[in-house]
């Protein structure tokens, strides 16, 4: 059996003694937040050069920071220059399986570790199979995508105000056709900050082309609708609901100009989600019903998504019959391979999306055990690197754990969610976590675990 990694308590203690957050500590050392997190979790060792930076930042030798192994490895390798690998990929770390109720069955074989109240505020191990330097690889990939999609945006910015166009419409559309799908991938891998810099350039150029009747108009409108949907998502993370609604309206208008029913339905689905965040059930229901009028001609994936949205909305009204009926319709219409649906590139709706909605349906209907099963399925299906999905999932799982009366599990999951939301820069998910915490306070008051997790807020 593979040996489970151990958190680096010495590094945690040194950081907390200086009263540094992980974000502050990572900046002082000159590494990413994810890299510093992996050091504290015991999932990765720094290279000697980086270790030197770490020791200088903390004013402490490696031994006091929990990195005796790095020094010992250097001594073993001597002058050979061979790199000492902490993990070689053959020793997977057990995946997380939340501990809630023995009657709630899942396919995971390992339970989440139990933490004392004093450990809650320090965070939890996000355990997953990992190799050394995986974080560096993931960062490089995201940086590469940002560079690819950012270069045309920079050129678009140079075009603005020029006396003569530097790029012709065909060239703008060619660049955008290649890069807008990459923008979507960058979003789902957590590249919020990069996209906030990049998207305005695409909106500027594509909107200008989409507004003018020409042979380019439909293609430009098709891409503009997608970019506005991406911008809606970014505004939503900042809880800028007015801007989010405006982007969904623009996306819908460009979907009409593109004569694309799928884009129109997707835009309405986005609009309904804003109303979900605002808890405006009547407007949400009206928007889903508007989208339902197009479902006989839209893609199967979008049709199934609208059904799931209606199921969740009716569950809010405690209309169990309609909620289960639409959930059944969604399940029956969901394509076996959602990634082959023509709308998948700009929606990423898939089976985890279905089970996510299903979990919310059961949560609204006060069926927490069924909700836990649904969210556990999402946990199994969503890759660890898809950070926006993971933080949303952790918030929902924490909410279900509250309904199941498991205080320790609620605290553990909420700790993960809050830290991930901060890393992503998602005010939306952070405030959702705050709402779960408020319910926990009402239920458990001054319990030690609650006092410990309170420091996160």
Q: What is the pLDDT along the chain (457 residues), one digit of tens a residue?
A: 334 468 898 998 898 888 787 878 888 888 877 788 878 888 788 877 788 889 999 999 999 999 887 665 554 444 433 333 322 222 222 322 333 333 333 333 223 334 444 443 344 333 333 333 444 455 577 788 888 888 777 777 555 554 455 688 999 999 999 999 999 999 988 889 899 999 999 999 999 999 999 999 999 999 999 999 999 999 999 999 999 999 999 999 999 999 999 999 999 999 999 999 999 999 999 999 999 999 999 999 999 999 999 999 999 999 999 999 999 999 999 999 999 999 999 999 999 999 999 999 999 999 999 999 999 999 999 888 888 899 999 999 999 999 999 998 999 899 999 989 998 889 999 999 999 999 999 999 888 877 778 777 7
Give the pLDDT score at 144: 83
Spatial CA neighbour of 238 closest among 441, 44, 49, 427: 427
- Cβ(436)–Cβ(402) under 8 Å? yes
Token code pair at residue 435: 């709402």
Token code pair at residue 98: 């939340």
Predicted TM-score (pTM) of the model is 0.68
Token code pair at residue 17: 């003694």
> Under the phi-then-psi rule, with left for phi > 0, alpha for psi from -120 to 50, and beta for the rest, what region is 89?
left
Distance CA 278, CA 209 (A): 33
Give the angle subtended at the CA of 236 by the CAs of 34 and 248, to the nearest 5°: 135
Give the pLDDT score at 164: 52
- Cβ(215)–Cβ(223) under 8 Å? no
Distance CA 371, CA 394 (A): 13
- Cβ(386)–Cβ(141) under 8 Å? no
- Cβ(357)–Cβ(312) under 8 Å? yes
Spatial CA neighbour of 352 closest among 314, 393, 323, 320: 393
**Count of residues making up the chain:** 457
Within 334-426, residue ranges assigned H as helices are 344-347, 351-364, 368-381, 387-403, 407-424
Token code pair at residue 330: 């969604």
Give the angle subtended at the CA of 46 by the CAs of 42 and 47, to the nearest 5°: 150
Distance CA 311, CA 304 (A): 11
Q: What one-character DSSP code corresponds to residue 454?
A: G
């Amino acid at each position: 059996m593979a040996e489970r990694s151990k958190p680096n308590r010495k590094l945690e203690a040194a950081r907390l003694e200086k009263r540094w957050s992980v974000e502050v500590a990572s900046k002082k050392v000159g590494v990413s937040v994810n890299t510093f997190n992996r050091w504290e979790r015991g999932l990765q060792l720094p290279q000697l050069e980086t270790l030197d930076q770490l020791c200088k930042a903390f004013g402490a030798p490696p031994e006091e920071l929990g990195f005796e192994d790095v020094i010992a490895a250097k001594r073993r390798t001597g002058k050979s220059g061979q790199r000492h690998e902490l993990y070689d990929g053959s020793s997977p770390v057990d995946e997380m399986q939340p501990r809630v109720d023995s009657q709630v069955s899942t396919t995971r074989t390992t339970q989440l570790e139990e933490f004392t109240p004093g450990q809650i505020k320090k965070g939890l191990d996000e355990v997953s199979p990992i190799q050394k330097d995986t974080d560096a690889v993931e960062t490089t990939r995201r940086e590469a995508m940002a560079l690819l999609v950012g270069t045309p945006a920079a050129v678009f910015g140079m075009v603005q105000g020029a006396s003569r166009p530097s790029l012709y419409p065909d060239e703008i559309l060619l660049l955008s056709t290649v890069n807008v799908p990459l923008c979507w991938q960058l979003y789902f891998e957590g590249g919020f900050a990069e996209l906030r810099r990049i998207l305005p350039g695409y909106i500027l150029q594509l909107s200008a082309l989409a507004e003018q009747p020409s042979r380019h108009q439909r293609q430009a409108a098709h891409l503009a609708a997608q970019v506005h949907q991406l911008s809606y998502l970014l505004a939503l993370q900042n809880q800028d609901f007015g801007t989010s609604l405006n982007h969904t309206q623009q996306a819908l208008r460009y979907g009409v100009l593109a004569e694309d029913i799928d884009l129109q339905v997707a835009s309405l689905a986005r609009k309904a989600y804003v109303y979900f965040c605002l808890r405006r059930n009547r407007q949400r229901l009206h928007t889903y019903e508007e989208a339902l009028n197009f479902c006989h001609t839209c893609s199967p994936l979008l049709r199934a998504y609208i059904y799931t949205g209606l199921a969740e909305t009716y569950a809010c009204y405690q209309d169990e019959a309609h909620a289960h009926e639409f959930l059944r319709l969604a399940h029956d219409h969901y394509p076996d391979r959602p990634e082959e649906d023509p709308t998948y590139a700009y929606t990423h709706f898939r089976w985890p999306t279905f089970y996510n909605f299903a979990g919310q349906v059961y949560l609204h209907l006060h069926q927490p055990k069924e909700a836990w099963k649904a969210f556990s399925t999402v946990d199994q299906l969503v890759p660890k690197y898809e950070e926006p999905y993971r933080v949303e999932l952790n918030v929902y799982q924490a909410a279900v754990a509250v309904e199941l009366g498991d205080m320790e599990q609620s605290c553990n999951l909420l700790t993960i969610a809050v830290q991930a939301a901060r890393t992503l820069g998602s005010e939306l998910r952070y405030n959702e976590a705050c709402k779960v915490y408020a319910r926990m306070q009402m239920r458990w008051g001054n319990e030690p675990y609650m006092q410990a997790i309170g420091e996160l807020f």
